[in-house]
Structure 1
Amino acid sequence: MDGEIVGAYADGIRRVYADAFSGPPWHEDDPAAGHRYVERLATDAARPGFTAALALDAGGTVSGFATAWTTPDPFPTGRAYDAVAAALGPRRVTDRLCGALEVDELAVAPAARGTGTGAALLTAVTAAAPGGRCWLLTSLRAGTALRFYRRAGWHRLPEAVPGRAALTVLLGPAHPDAGAAAGAG
């Protein structure tokens, strides 16, 4: 779905975001974090290649969402991009990530976890990844998320991303460079 439709579900997205990211390792337990995310989402929806997927329960309540967009070339700065660029270097960032679909957020409400909702959302937002090229960041401290992505066929790059968040880059299962990441675990 596009940004306009996402906006219609802003309250549910805010709630799921707050539920998903308030605990470790993210600790976004400030009640305003969900509101800030929804505000950022409005801007993100204008990015080239933006796509989103939304899961609704039987009552029409948001039970999960995922967002993605095409990573521009040149590689962006700010947010965690600077740390990723420092870890991979300019050539590998350009070769592996620029022009690829970047999964920005994937969040599932606690009641919907373990039901296949996360896998369905991830598949939905990455289905149109150009040449299978998709990537994402997560924390090495997010054990549940890392296990989920591993089961979904994603591969962690061996390069450490500097910073307090202990971030790591994962390449999607069909990414042409996923084999280079397979040994990283």
Structure 2
Amino acid sequence: MSIRLFTGPQLLAHADALRSVYVDAFCAPPWDEDEEKSAEFVGRLAADVERPGFTAAAAFTGSGDVVGFSTAWTTTAPFPTDRCYPQAAAGLGPERTVEWLCGAREIDELAVRSSARGTGLAGDLLAAVTLDAPRSWLLTSVRSPRVLSFYRREGWTQATHPSCDGKGITVFLGPRHPARTLAARPL
């Protein structure tokens, strides 16, 4: 298996394969997204590749099949207000949101085919898109304890702690993020 980095529109040549991985990863429990979300992902991807600091990593088998990917970019200032960003800002507060997240590498997607899970590939993809970015962060749903545990094992620090009802999102700071030691620990 090899991991290739992309920094712009050349990633779109693999859009169909990325969509297939997205379906495999997110249209099953615990995410249970419908296939329409995968079409939305591909639609967003066409704009995402133009974002400042865009970077992506894709994992290819020896035969050229895509088995995983991660996408990331630099978070803009002012802090975005679409998607789940308001929940992140509410959890951190306005000052920390700007100081910790704006200008940092934001991991948007991380997906691995079910057949490649447990191989270390997700960690390798995450490392590939953050290698040159000590200030890295991501949002994820608290719906999957397995995913939360994965990020912790990879050295990421949970910086927000939504209610324990299995709903909501949380912010994780990368292992080299300078603010990770300042993040509030869960009660």
Give the structure-2-normalised TM-score.
0.90
The one-letter amino acid paired with 2:97 is V
Distance apart, 1:44 and its partner CA: 0.7
Equivalent residue for 1:67?
A: 71
What is aligned with 1:111? 115
Is 2:153 the partner of 1:148?
no
Which of 11, 14, 23 is the matching residue for 2:19? Answer: 14
The verdict on how the C-alpha distance between 1:164 and 1:140 changes in structure 2, with shifts beyond 3 A counting, is closer
The one-letter code of the counterpart of 1:78 is: D
Q: Does 1:180 align with 2:176?
A: no
Q: Which runs of 5 or more residues in structure 1 are unaligned?
A: none
1-side partners of 2:92 and 2:147: how far apart?
Answer: 22
CA distance in 1, matches of 2:157, 2:73: 19
Number of residue pairs aligned between Structure 1 and Structure 2: 181
Amino acid of the structure 1 residue aligned with 2:152: R
Q: Which position in structure 2 is the counterpart of 1:170?
A: 172
1:144, 1:104 → 2: CA distance?
18
Contact residue 157 and residue 174 of structure 2 kept, 8 A: yes
User: Separation in 2 of the partners of 1:27 and 1:120?
Assistant: 25
Tell me, in whole angstroms, the C-alpha distance in 2 between the residues paired with 1:182 and 1:55: 34
Per-residue deviation, 1:33:
1.9
Contact 1:55 1:62 in 2 (8 A): yes
Which ranges in structure 2 are unaligned for 5 or more consecutive residues?
Answer: 1-5
**Aligned: 1:102 with 2:106:** yes
More displaced 10-residue stretch of structure 1: 90-99 or 137-146: 137-146
1:134 & 1:23 partners in 2: Cα distance? Answer: 27
Deviation at 1:86, TM superposition (A): 1.8
Question: CA RMSD of the aligned region, Å?
Answer: 1.9
Q: 1 CA distance for matches of 2:85 and 2:166?
A: 14
Q: Which moved more, 1:114-123 or 1:140-149?
A: 140-149
Displacement of 1:64 in angstroms is 0.2
Query: Is 1:35 aligned to residue 39 of structure 2?
Result: yes
Is 2:130 the partner of 1:126?
Answer: yes
Partner AA of 1:116 in structure 2: G
Q: Provide the TM-score with structure 1 as the length reference.
A: 0.91
Distance 2:105 2:19 in 1: 23
Structure 2: which amino acid aligns with 1:105? E
Give 1:182 shift: 7.0
